[in-house]
Amino acid sequence: MPTTLTTLDVTGMTCGHCVSAVTNELETVDGVQSVTVELHAGGTSEVTVLSHAPLAEDALRAAIDEAGYDVTGVRAHGEAEEWAEEGHAQQTADDAAAGSAGVPASGGGCGCGCGTASDAGPNVVEIGKRPS
């Protein structure tokens, strides 16, 4: 079955709690199969959504807005297999649920109010169903 990947550039995310908030909102959008987040603490994070058909951009933007973050760009990708071959890494949902999302335990608070440290570089977290 063909797959569609949509990547949203999202600002304001700083930790695993932010990743979980965005992921939970996106998973309520009809057609979303899974969500992958490449977290750039304090910068522009890449949120990639896997679906079997193109998704309505306004629904994706509304979900991100509901989570409390801003979308600064949206772009579509080819097949999921091509995207994976480009070297996009993934962590487990357990890491995100634990609030770690690859974020070190040192440094100041993340700013979202969850108390997670924000001293981090790019991290990738996948939450949701994996493509079959």
Least confident span in 6-20, 27-41, 115-129: 115-129
Find residue 45's DSSP bridge partners. 10
**CA dist 113 → 14, 17, 82, 110, 118 (Å):** 10, 9, 37, 7, 11
Q: What pLDDT, on a 0 to 100 scale, did the predictor assign at position 124?
A: 52
Q: What is the pLDDT of residues 79-110, one digit of tens each?
A: 655 555 555 434 333 344 444 343 333 334 45
Higher pLDDT, 3 or 45: 45
Q: What is the pLDDT of residues 36-86, one digit of tens each?
A: 999 999 899 999 999 999 999 999 999 999 999 999 999 987 665 555 555
Q: What pLDDT, on a 0 to 100 scale, did the predictor assign at position 106?
A: 32
Averaged pLDDT, 18-37: 96
Q: What pLDDT, on a 0 to 100 scale, did the predictor assign at position 103?
A: 36
Distance CA 74, CA 68 (A): 17
Averaged pLDDT, 17-25: 96
Q: Which two tokens stand for residue 84?
A: 């994976």
Distance CA 68, CA 94 (A): 23
Domain containing 119: what range?
4-128
Number of structural domains found in the chain = 1
Q: What pLDDT, on a 0 to 100 scale, did the predictor assign at position 49?
A: 96
Domain CATH number, residue 78: 3.30.70.100
Residue with tokens 């979900």: 63
Cα angle, residue 61 at apex, residues 23 and 59 outer, rounded to 5°: 90
Print burial letters for 44-64: b (CB count within 10 Å at least 16), e (below 16): ebbbbbbbeeebeeeebeebb
